[in-house]
A = this chain, B = another copy of it.
Amino acid sequence: MTGTNPQTARSGRGRVLTVAKIARLAGVSAPTVSRVINGQTGVALETRRRVEAILREHGYRRPGGSTSVAIVELVFHALESLWALEIIRGVERVAREHDLAVVLTEMQGRLTPGRAWTEQVLTRRPTGVIAVFSELTVAQQSQLATRSIPLVVLDPTGEPLHQTPSVGATNWNGGLAATRHLLDLGHRRIAMLGGPPEWPCCRARLDGYRAAMDAAGVPVDPDLVRISTLYVEGGLADGRELLALPDPPTAIFTANDLQALGVYEAARLAGVGIPDELSVVGFDDLSFTRWSGPPMTTIRQPLEQMGATATRMIIDLAAGQSLDQHRVELATELVVRESTAPPSRG
């Protein structure tokens, strides 16, 4: 009577992990371990810490749990543009190849998921969590860690977290390439429409712009560097102000394609022709850029592959493998279309 219950938690090697064994390892009783696993109160902080460490170390999982329903959680701050859809596609593709179900959540613009989300995720016991353009609280991170649910962040918004594995694009290189392209065309009054610089991806694009300008020996006019929102409206508003300057820019590099579309509209309203009187470079290469009037020069971000990469990292981590690198940056690429040309004046 071996009593091997198929619902029983197993570690990677097939060694059966039970609450009793964890208890023995931690030097406590089974009920105490049970309480820790279920997040109940009435356990001394010190004891809880010790038990959690052992749980994590041995990769304990509840019996049954995710055995039949293997899930990867995908959390977005917002589902607003094709940017999100490309990432979803990449995640879904790799997940499907590994028989993982993708559970999608939107946080309605907030950058940190709420308590309700955390509770539900802990109930669902996913194989892993991918957080896009967001940040988990330290408490949320440790709750996942306790249950050995790996977390990967795509385009992290917080302080570059060295512990949390993350995926992004070579944003700095992208900013550099976009600006150098404009410089090579002969532009000198090049404006940068940035996103909120507290977000590393936006900051890196801005820094790439500055680096290219410095390298070319072109001083950056502070009036031409503006922080805007990452939406069409932001590009429209700030684009109008830039074009209304006494000495307006001959080129504008924006932090994303939506902003660039806003600049298009600002130029249209101001009667400024693209690319004859104004060059515009976007960032992302969302599909509509190919069909905008005129087709947009932009920095391609491999969003689908970023989603796919994040998912593969989750799968590797869940299998107990260590990652080659905790921070993966996929290459950006300059895509030259018809919104950039040599300056007509200056």
Interface residues of A (CB under 8 A from B): 6-7, 38, 62-69, 71, 79-82, 84-85, 88-89, 92-93, 96, 99, 101-106, 116, 120, 123-124, 232, 261-262, 264-265, 268, 287-288, 290-293
Number of copies: 2
Ordered by A's residue number, 9 sampled pairs between the chains whose C-beta atoms are within 8 Å are A7-B7, A63-B64, A79-B88, A82-B82, A89-B106, A93-B106, A102-B105, A104-B104, A232-B290
Residues of chain B within 8 A (CB-CB) of A291 are 232, 261-262, 264-265
A276 to chain B, nearest CB (A): 15
| Set of chain B residues within 8 Å of A123, measured between Cβ atoms | 68-69
- Classify the interface of chain A: helix, strand, loop or mixed: helix
Kindly state the separation between the CA atoms of A221 and B150 in the bound complex, as whole angstroms.
Answer: 61
Q: Tell whether, in the assembled complex, residue B85 and residue A79 are in contact, meaning their CB atoms are under 8 Å apart.
A: yes
Given contacts A7-B64, A64-B65, A71-B103, 7 further A-B contacts (CB under 8 A): A7-B7, A82-B85, A84-B85, A92-B104, A102-B105, A103-B104, A232-B290
Query: Which of B64, B71, B261 makes the CB contact (< 8 A) with A62?
Result: B64
- In the assembled complex, the CB of A257 is this many whole angstroms from the nearest CB of chain B, namely 10
Residues A79 and B89 in contact, CB atoms below 8 Å apart = yes
Q: What's the Cα separation between A81 and B265 when bound, in Å?
A: 22
Instruction: List, in ascending order, chain B residues with CB within 8 A of A84's CB.
Output: 85
